[in-house]
Structure 1
Amino acid sequence: MDGRRGAEDEVVGLCQELIRIDTSNPGDHSGPGERVAAEYVAGKLAEVGLEPVVLESHPGRTSVIARIEGEDPGRDALLLHGHLDVVPARAEDWTRDPFGGEIADGCVWGRGAVDMKDMDAMILAVVRERLREGRRPPRDVVVAFLADEEAGGRWGAQWLVDEHPELFEGCTEAVGEVGGFSLTVPGDRRMYLIETAEKGIGWMRLTARGTAGHGSMVHPDNAVTAVAAAVARLGSHEFPLRLTKTVRAFLERACLAYGVEFDPDHPEKCLAEIGPLARMIGATLRNTLNPTRLDAGYKVNVIPQEASAQVDGRFLPGYEEEFFATVDELLGPDVTREFVHHDHAIETEYEGALVAAMEAALTSEDPGALPVPYCLSGGTDAKAFARLGMRCFGFAPLRLPPELDFSGMFHGVDERVPVDGLRFGVRVLDRFLDRA
């Protein structure tokens, strides 16, 4: 049997089975954890002769790592990584059971279908078929299925990098999620967005303190007023346009594909052409701040001594210092900040043999492919692996129908991935490993 055909036949079932394992991660350890999914993955890897390492960083927070020996042990190794956790889902909000893994309308439905049990299934399917057939990759490949990505990776990638870096010995490049998906452009062609950069993360808790007292009296140092004013300043602030090399490269190629003139002073003109994806790309034109929580008081006629808020800040590669200087200026003297989660921005060049392997694998399966680099507005486990010196990319290849709002599927309701897209991804990923 052709290896790619065997993996194609298996990938859909693997994706369904992974979705049916509830690995919801609310960020406070109240979810079921990733243990069951990790044991499932470890079993699938062991069936084809690998010796997976299963590590639990915290009760239920479990990751799986295995190394596949390549034909040339003298070459640097490649890391393929995915995360097993998903964000929570409320069944009443969905058209179908979010943990049912149903197939309907040509798609596999469920929480994690695109973030990111689809890629987990593709990696498993390709690795299993290659090992069954005795097809070793050109170099060592480490596969990692990780816990806790949806809450910043503290109990997953971050913990592994801190406590078990030896598992990634020799890995100089890493490939993970949120890249390789298609965007249909004029001329029956498709841009495939390959992630080469991610914004940094600054999740912050803001705190103001004042004098507690009766709500009927005058209180010039009201903590609620102080924190509310700071939140209003942060939420209404627009950062200046900053075109990083990755964002500029994407916009130039996108404008060319759509027949629109690229204007570096007004890059938003191009965004109107790319549909719903404009939300994600638009967020990479500048640093951003979004207030997300407010907490104060316990009774309407009691002025609290303390009030707090939380904001989600994201900064572009090279602009972290500018970002936090602006935040502190906007906060003013009466409000302090502390990190809920802080992680760096990353960026690598869109060049080299690994990029060439991605491009060749895509164009082999889709002659209308136009691979392009882009910057992710969010963050992934790539941030942890970049700390080990790896060049990190997002490449989970999917050929998508033009009408599907793929970016809206991330953390959204009715998350689903096309069956044909999974099969396409397996073929591309297998060709990629031949060349990587």
Structure 2
Amino acid sequence: MTTDPSLSSATSPATVTAEDEVAGICADLLRIDTSNYGDGSGPGERTAAEHVMALLHEVGLDPELFESAPGRANVVVRIPGADPSRSALVLHGHLDVVPAQAEDWQVDPFAGEEIDGLLWGRGAVDMKDMDAMMLAVVRQMVREGRKPARDVVLAFFADEEAGGTFGARYAVDHRPELFEGATHAISEVGGFSTQINGQRAYLLQTAEKGLAWLRLIADGRAGHGSQVAADNAVTHLAAAVARIGQHPWPYVLTPTVEALLRGVSDLTGLAFDASDPARIDALVDALGPAARFVGATVRNTSNPTQLSAGYKANVIPGRAEAAIDARFLPGHTESGMATLRELAGEHVRIEPIHEDIALEVPFSGSLVDAMTAALLAEDPGALVLPYSLSGGTDNKSLARLGITGYGFAPLRLPEGLDFPGMFHGIDERVPVDSLKFGTRVLARLLETC
């Protein structure tokens, strides 16, 4: 697992920098289809993992590839730091992507094309861009014989897009020794820029909502479609789905979200009032494209996503099912589930499909200081603010080992680019200049954190 970072490869000259090769690494990763359908039917991550292994082997590192199931591959390597007495930092990404329907895209989602300075493809923002930055920065450090400030555990996981069962969760449960001595981690969905009243601000992720993918099940009396059916499973289910999907969850500001909105208030002059939803909405809207993420972090959410019932138009089924994607604020999971059970009603029961914890960590400390300093060194006039992610990351799994995780994939983005809107959306693309910026920031961070 561990190797001497003074080793270098003859095929990777020391004159090649992370900025030189990050776009090429990203394009190559985008061309590898790692679609995760959540049911085991996808191509898996093995091909991408082997590509990552080759890039790391090329500069003299000795990573380990291990599978949690056939084709579900993970890659981990520990890079010794200048001060081995310090705790280790986990720098991690995931290799899988959500599926893409080519007919919906302007380009082939797995062609990895560069058009007008942007790389297009499924995973360009989630998160093969960060994978490429990690690889490019580490490869340059190793080629030049430089060590990070402390041990770095570099990890590329499978299955993040389906909850991490075959990736980070598997690694934590079955290979915890890989993360020995690690106290902090950084990964995706933070560190990107947005414009607030003409001021560029970077949003550093310090919290993420918990998730509950739930199955609603209604049982009723099966029968002929022409009969009076008071105990109809479809009717019971439809009513529950409507109540849950239309429920007006109250606004609740966690410490992270409150700190962000107070920062937005300072920049815009808009009034902050935690008790006034209209003022909260105005501050969220001032975040521009980032409002997509932040707007879902001022309250719990519960969205119906799937329905299943019956097999013939004239047969009343005895069972009907639906799926709900619920996301709960830190500290509000139990109360949120109690509300869902009440909304489901007496005829509908709730069973878990997949559940995971919410996270909230301090916007303070030496690592946060180092991330902030690394960003401001490359963009001196900017501001750094904390924010909460409405989705989830593999930091949830690492938290089981007591590892404090942050979202920090640094990208300076052009004004007007709807970066958050491309997560799981169509026409994903990332500016090449943003990737180069990210390599400079990450290199500074690893040398100083």
- The verdict on a shared fold, with TM-score over 0.5 as the criterion, is yes
**Secondary structure at 1:387 match in 2:** helix
1:434 Cα deviation (Å)? 1.2
Match of 2:239 in 1: 229
**Secondary structure at 2:297 match in 1:** coil
1:316 Cα deviation (Å)? 0.3
1:65–1:144 Cα contact (<8 Å) kept: yes
1:261 Cα deviation (Å)? 1.9
Match of 1:114 in 2: 125
Rounded to whole Å, the distance in 2 between the matches of 1:29 and 1:288 is: 27
Are positions 1:340 and 2:353 aligned together? Answer: yes
Match of 2:17 in 1: 6
Match of 2:37 in 1: 26
Rounded to whole Å, the distance in 1 between the matches of 2:409 and 2:384 is: 13
Counterpart of 2:170 (choices 159, 173, 181) is 159
Match of 1:141 in 2: 152
2:197–2:286 Cα contact (<8 Å) kept: no
Match of 2:71 in 1: 60
Counterpart of 1:275 (choices 282, 288, 291) is 288
**Secondary structure at 1:108 match in 2:** strand
Match of 2:305 in 1: 292
Instruction: Decide whether aligned partners of structure 1 residues 298 and 56 sit closer, same or farther in structure 2, where only a CA change above 3 A counts.
Output: same
Rounded to whole Å, the distance in 2 between the matches of 1:368 and 1:104 is: 29
Counterpart of 2:188 (choices 152, 177, 201) is 177
Counterpart of 1:216 (choices 226, 229, 233) is 226
**Secondary structure at 1:318 match in 2:** coil
1:260 Cα deviation (Å)? 1.6
Instruction: Decide whether aligned partners of structure 1 residues 95 and 67 sit closer, same or farther in structure 2, where only a CA change above 3 A counts.
Output: same
Could you tell me which amino acid in structure 2 is paired with residue 126 of structure 1? V
Match of 2:251 in 1: 241
Rounded to whole Å, the distance in 1 between the matches of 2:147 and 2:241 is: 54
Counterpart of 1:69 (choices 65, 80, 85) is 80
Could you tell me which amino acid in structure 2 is paired with residue 316 of structure 1? L
Match of 2:3 in 1: none
Match of 2:260 in 1: 250
Are positions 1:95 and 2:106 aligned together? Answer: yes
Could you tell me which amino acid in structure 2 is paired with residue 372 of structure 1? L
**Secondary structure at 2:438 match in 1:** helix
1:2 Cα deviation (Å)? 12
Are positions 1:193 and 2:203 aligned together? Answer: yes
- Equivalent residues in 2 for 1:312-327, closer than 5 Å: 312-327=325-340
* Identity, % of aligned positions: 61
Q: TM-score, normalised by structure 1?
A: 0.98
Match of 1:204 in 2: 214
Give the length in aligned residue pairs.
435
Please provide the CA RMSD for this pair.
1.4
Match of 2:374 in 1: 361
Rounded to whole Å, the distance in 2 between the matches of 1:261 and 1:240 is: 20
1:3–1:130 Cα contact (<8 Å) kept: no
2:216–2:348 Cα contact (<8 Å) kept: yes
Instruction: Decide whether aligned partners of structure 1 residues 106 and 86 sit closer, same or farther in structure 2, where only a CA change above 3 A counts.
Output: same
Counterpart of 2:143 (choices 128, 132, 136) is 132
* Deviations, residues 99-150 of structure 1 (Å, cap 9, x unaligned): 1111102100000000000000000000000000011011100000010000
Rounded to whole Å, the distance in 1 between the matches of 2:272 and 2:412 is: 26
Instruction: Decide whether aligned partners of structure 1 residues 275 and 204 sit closer, same or farther in structure 2, where only a CA change above 3 A counts.
Output: same
Rounded to whole Å, the distance in 1 between the matches of 2:104 and 2:321 is: 30
1:336 Cα deviation (Å)? 0.5
**Secondary structure at 1:283 match in 2:** helix
Q: Unaligned stretches of 5+ in structure 2? A: 1-11
Could you tell me which amino acid in structure 2 is paired with residue 23 of structure 1? T
- Equivalent residues in 2 for 1:397-408, closer than 5 Å: 397-408=410-421
Rounded to whole Å, the distance in 2 between the matches of 1:288 and 1:66 is: 37
Match of 1:45 in 2: 56
**Secondary structure at 1:371 match in 2:** strand
**Secondary structure at 2:271 match in 1:** coil
Could you tell me which amino acid in structure 1 is paired with residue 338 of structure 2? A
